[in-house]
Chain A
């Protein structure tokens, strides 16, 4: 049965209220700043509301919105002349924890972008393989393989720095 084209404001609002933390957390991981992440998510939803009529209904609404959020975050990162909120930590510092966080950040930064995105969507948004594949327009198999590679690489990098 063909699904109706377009997304309703009620559905979008529901997603916003239900998943705002995850949207912001993934955005923060991509852009590298908490304030910028909040702006990015607001902007992404502005775009989604404006373009709600173009939602084709050929996949879950949530995946559609995730794509918009991820793209908005990547745009923001790409257009920043320096890392957004470079001075603003995205996690609270706590002595040795800060050092550990820097090491993790350095390791994650070494991963290819696709691996990073899949990690963020898997761990910060708790999306399953199907939802990640819908969000990034790749196959489930690619998600699984990329995630495996990312795990292995991250473990290796973290081991190399004696974590």
Chain B
């Protein structure tokens, strides 16, 4: 340090001082504020210097259309007001013990507060490096994990609203289930409207964020309040127009354009989208590996003792310094219930640590994680913001995610661990690993979102009058839930066989409960595609009893309704309502919730039992009807 007397002297070398000549009027003009007076001097100077300024203006224009212009509360990085001391303290306590923590000294800001059924929730925000972070927490449980999401500022660019997360909390006793969505909204947005399975809510935007929460009684084994999840999100703009916000319902599927179909629907695969980027590997990596892991170099941080695996050596890497998500990489000789087939070689486990979690959030292990190529993707796809992350073999110097929306996003990559957060609504994705020459060295794909499609009509090829006489097990009475005049539900397998006769096929261990094999009896066919009746059993204590009767025989006849599986599902729904309305109430209209598909259901008015009906959209020639006790025994 002999040539440098001080830090100040060293830094002085880096940036020469600037002069003090600025252009305040230009700022006012660009900000849309009238300058005190138009000045010919300025105008003339601008004309003369026009050519020279063009490049600078382009840069400025790029900034002007950027995020912070439209998210003014976040402009300074300190939106809202300082978080209540309790929330700040709770966060710090949790952050101190969490493995995937935020930088010490992070100050939360209170963006908005909502009280639902007596429980108050605080939506808190802060800027973490280049990322914008939201934390949703119960005010009475500030040390709880809450919901935490960080997004690069770039992800908000050009958006009106971005849903950052789904929220679900269970509060009180008896339990109340509080659910909803939260996220970012630009200055242009006045309010956000959320449409649910039942009803609609409108919430104002505050500090460039929104929070929609709604409570309903939680379900129990025998009581199932119908879920009321969010279906669509709409931004109401200050200019009076509205804009659909891309949203993936419960991580399952989307309504294109935010339009909920008026006909029965299910979430099925939409048309394949065109995704940019290379489609084939041009420079595969020979014998892909992670050198530092093999050499046991102490990269990142130590790996906390993981559950469910015998770790030989592991470290935790934080690929993106602005996102607290950490990914553990470990060589293990045993994982889950199994020992590696080649214990001397072992396998590699990838463990994800979500923000503020105390332990690993999830992990996956493989004896050869690079068997399919030099990228191993371990993505969690169930939330509005998807974290695409995983490990890349030596030789991968850059990882890019190409999205179905047309965008491409660079992933953070450090010590062979990569990660990038993208909105789920923009999937599918092609994740490409490049070598240092820019050649595609590995490609892995992420499937696209399902879209709402109309339920196909049931294909009723054989008219009822041409069907053979119903067999014993094809005669039901929906009013009494009987088969062949006998109550089958609640019977043991032996009792069922004594009543209905020998089945076509017995699956001795269709499922296991606490190590006990639970059978399934099939009549009229042995395979799922051709069986007429499948009787499924349930174990309660020492007793195994029939819990549901699944019919798909065309000859099925109800005592009052006749051939119930020779009707279109909507027609069946109508006749059950009109004929058995005193016995059953409609619980879910046919195809009314694409999440559960082309199905409808009724509940018994005096017990948890019920019936459901519908078609499998991939096999519409076999409509079905199920009678079940719903655990009532």
Contact = CB atoms under 8 A, between A and B. Distances in A.
Contacts of A124: 11, 15
B517 interface: no
B14 A91 contact: yes
B18 A76 contact: no
B17 interface: yes
Nearest to A137: B107
A42 B26 contact: yes
Contact of A71 (B12, B22, B76, B82): B76
Interface residues of A, number: 70
Nearest to B73: A54
A142 B7 contact: no
A13 B22 CA distance: 11
The 7 closest A-B pairs by CB, nearest first: A49-B31, A51-B72, A142-B105, A24-B18, A43-B63, A67-B76, A138-B105
Contacts of B82: 58
Contacts of B153: 75, 78
A21 B126 CA distance: 29
19 contacts: A20-B20, A25-B17, A39-B59, A42-B22, A43-B64, A46-B27, A46-B63, A47-B75, A50-B32, A55-B76, A58-B82, A72-B68, A104-B11, A104-B13, A105-B14, A119-B7, A120-B11, A137-B78, A137-B126
A154 B19 contact: no
A28 interface: yes
Nearest to B109: A137
Contact of B8 (A29, A123, A142): A123
Nearest to B79: A54
A51 B68 CA distance: 10
B68 A71 contact: yes
Contacts of A67: 76-78
Contacts of B28: 9, 49
B154 interface: yes
A159 B3 CA distance: 10
Interface of B: 1-4, 7-8, 10-20, 22-24, 26-28, 30-33, 56, 59-60, 62-64, 66-69, 72-73, 75-78, 81-82, 103-107, 126-127, 129-130, 153-154, 321
A17 B24 contact: yes
Contacts of B73: 54
A25 B480 CA distance: 84
A82 interface: no
A134 to B, nearest CB: 9
A130 interface: no
Nearest to B71: A51
A100 B60 CA distance: 32
Q: Pick the most buried of A114, A124, A137, A159: most chain B CB atoms within 10 A of its CB.
A: A137
A21 B19 contact: yes
A24 B10 CA distance: 18
Contacts of B129: 113
A20 B75 CA distance: 19
Given A71-B68, A107-B10, A137-B77, 12 more contacts: A21-B18, A41-B22, A42-B22, A42-B23, A50-B31, A51-B76, A79-B62, A91-B15, A97-B13, A119-B11, A123-B8, A124-B15
Given A39-B56, A50-B31, A154-B7, A25 B81 contact: no
A28 B20 contact: no
A45 B3 CA distance: 38
Interface in A61-80: 64, 67-68, 71-72, 74-76, 78-79
B321 A113 contact: yes
Nearest to A50: B31
B60 A39 contact: yes
Contacts of B1: 155, 158-159, 163
Interface of A: 9, 13, 16-17, 20-21, 24-25, 28-29, 34-43, 45-51, 54-56, 58-59, 64, 67-68, 71-72, 74-76, 78-79, 90-92, 97, 100-101, 104-105, 107-108, 112-114, 119-120, 123-124, 137-139, 141-142, 151, 154-155, 158-159, 163
B23 A101 contact: no
A123 B40 CA distance: 39
A16 B18 contact: no
A47 B13 contact: no
Contacts of B26: 42
B80 to A, nearest CB: 8
B18 A45 contact: no
Contacts of B14: 29, 90-91, 101, 104-105, 108
A58 B81 contact: yes
B63 A75 contact: yes
A123 B15 CA distance: 11
B10 A158 contact: yes
A123 B11 contact: yes
A50 to B, nearest CB: 5
Nearest to A112: B321
Contacts of A100: 3-4, 13
A67 B11 CA distance: 21
B18 A34 contact: yes
A114 B130 CA distance: 12
A29 B69 CA distance: 23
Given A58-B82, A91-B16, A139-B105, A45 B11 contact: no
Contacts of B106: 137-138
Contact of A151 (B7, B31, B75): B7
Nearest to B13: A101
A89 to B, nearest CB: 9
A11 to B, nearest CB: 13
Given A36-B59, A108-B14, A158-B10, A17 B20 contact: yes
Nearest to B4: A163
Contacts of B130: 74-75, 78
